[in-house]
Structure 1
Amino acid sequence: MEKRPFGQTGAQFPLLSFGAQRIVDEHNCTEEQAIQIVNRAIDEGITYFDTAPSYSKGQSEERLGKALALHNRRDEVWIATKTNDRTRDGSLRLLEDSLKRLQTDHVEEWRLHNIMKMEELDQCLAKGGALEALLEAKEQGMIKHISISGHTNPQVQLEAIDRFPFDSALVALSAADHLVYSFAHEFLPKANEKGIAVIGMKVMALGKLAPWYEKALRYTLSLPISTAIVGMESMEQLEQNLAIAKNFKPMTDLEQLDFLKEIMHLANPDVLKWKSTDWVSGEWYER
């Protein structure tokens, strides 16, 4: 697979990375299957793994940790996990629990998870906010890089990277996201200009782009990003993603335009729930 630089960190990753949210009971993936999928992914060159303590109440982290420990593969991978707490103290408690579940003494990357509103960003960056936890954890060697993620309003992440030198940003970059509150249009150019690694997510738009699977993955991989995480709950899904990534050819402008015309009807709050006021309201987020 093609490898790309990860911002200014000095790391490089294959263009396809592993979203570990789905290797859980909730998605009909057993622990045995999760261990097999993770190790198969590493065998095929995938080294970037994204998880969070909120994914199935820690089961995602726990299974990723078991998969790596069982085959002694911790040193082969880069782990990114998150805090959805907006305070210093709460975030540090989350990190302590994450490290236990992941069976490691550090993670390569720790993110402020899903910062939707300016008020949340302000809280994280204020005295006693979550950013203090990230800075302390880095100083103590528990994390190596500081990150932020966002699904909803690219203006929030633009403000964030103006106020703090984040190493990376995980943002919604599906083809459907292209059509409203577009991180591809609004956020990606500025992040690239600043040398911030950008990780694409929501590639299949919570399954809504599944009928256009190859096109959807090619669209996101064609963007000027460092890598894209894709959730994988079965070996079949992993192999499908690997096949597309190994044979990847960037979309031409005309291909992209034709694809966007095909899926334009999906640009509504019922589909793009993460760009709604509360993910279920059926109303667009108001900036």
Structure 2
Amino acid sequence: MEKRIFGRTGQQFPLLSFGAQRIVDEHNCTEDEAIAIVNRAIDEGITYFDTAPSYSKGQSEERLGKALALHGRRNDVWIATKTNDRTRDGSLKLLEESLKRLQTDHVEEWRLHNIMTMEELDKCFAKGGALEALIEAKDQGLIKHISISGHTNPRVQLEAIDRYPFDSALVALSAADHLVYSFAHEFLPKANEKGIAVIGMKVMALGKLAPWYEKALQYTFSLPISTAIVGMESMEQLEQNLSIAKSFKPMTDLEQLSFLKEIMHLANPDVLRWKSTDWVSGEWYVR
């Protein structure tokens, strides 16, 4: 697979990375299947794994930790996890629990999870806010790099990277996301200019782009990003994604435009729920 530079970190990752949210019971993936999928991914060169304590109440982290520990592969991978708490103390508690589930004494990357509004960003940056926890954890060697993620409004993440030199940002970069509150248009150029690694997510738009599976992956891979995480709950999905990633050729501008025309009807609040005021409101996020 093609490898790309990961911002200022000096690391390189294949363009396909592993979203571990779905290796859980909730997605009909057993523990044995999760362990097999994770290790097969590593065998095929995938080294970047994204998880969070909120994914199935910690089961995603727990299974990723078991998969790596059972086969002695912790040192072969880069783990990114998150805090959805907006306070210092709450975030540090989450990190302590995450490290236990992941069976490790550190993670390579820790993110402020899904910062949707300027008010949430202000809470994280305030005295006693979550950013203090990230900085302290880095000073203590519990994490290596500081990150932020966002699904909704690119202006929030633009403000964030103006306030603090984040090492990376995980943002919604599906083809459908291109059409409303576009991180590709608004956020990606500025992040690249600042040397911030950008990780694409929501590649399949929560399954809505499944009828255009290969094109959806090609679109996101064609953006100037460091890597893209894709959720995988079965060996079949992993193999399909690997096949597409290995044969990847960037879309031309005309190919991208043609694809966007095909999926334009998906640009509505019922589909792009993460871009609404809450995830079920059916109203566009407007601030």
**TM-score, with normalisation over the residues of structure 2?**
1.00
Shift of 1:109: 0.1
- Distance in 1 separating the partners of 2:120 and 2:93: 19
* Residue in structure 2 matched with residue 177 of structure 1 by the alignment: 177
Shift of 1:99: 0.1
Match of 2:9, SS?
coil
- Structure 2 counterparts to residues 1-287 of structure 1, below 5 A: 1-287=1-287
- Distance in 2 separating the partners of 1:8 and 1:134: 18
Shift of 1:273: 0.2
Shift of 1:225: 0.1
Match of 2:174, SS?
coil
TM superposition outliers: structure 1 runs of 4+ over 6 Å: none
Shift of 1:235: 0.1
Deviation readout 1:212-263 (Å, 9 max, x if unpaired): 0000000000000000000000000000000000000000001000000000
Shift of 1:191: 0.1
Shift of 1:95: 0.1
- Distance in 1 separating the partners of 2:127 and 2:13: 34
Shift of 1:29: 0.1
- Distance in 1 separating the partners of 2:180 and 2:152: 10
Deviation readout 1:110-133 (Å, 9 max, x if unpaired): 000000000000000110000000
Match of 1:119, SS?
helix
Deviation readout 1:137-195 (Å, 9 max, x if unpaired): 00000000000000000000000000000000000000000000000000000000000
- Distance in 1 separating the partners of 2:217 and 2:232: 13
Match of 2:8, SS?
coil
Match of 1:170, SS?
strand
- Distance in 2 separating the partners of 1:279 and 1:85: 18
Shift of 1:83: 0.1
- Distance in 1 separating the partners of 2:2 and 2:103: 30
- Distance in 2 separating the partners of 1:2 and 1:22: 24
Shift of 1:210: 0.1
- Distance in 1 separating the partners of 2:195 and 2:270: 34
Shift of 1:271: 0.0
Deviation readout 1:31-72 (Å, 9 max, x if unpaired): 000000000000000000000000000000000000000000
* Unaligned residue ranges in structure 2 (runs of 5+): none
Number of residues of Structure 1 aligned to a counterpart in Structure 2: 287
- Distance in 1 separating the partners of 2:253 and 2:74: 40
- Distance in 1 separating the partners of 2:237 and 2:162: 37
- Distance in 2 separating the partners of 1:153 and 1:60: 26
Match of 2:256, SS?
helix
- Distance in 1 separating the partners of 2:156 and 2:253: 28
Match of 1:13, SS?
strand
**TM-score, with normalisation over the residues of structure 1?**
1.00
* Unaligned residue ranges in structure 1 (runs of 5+): none
Match of 2:181, SS?
coil
- Distance in 2 separating the partners of 1:184 and 1:277: 20
Shift of 1:274: 0.1
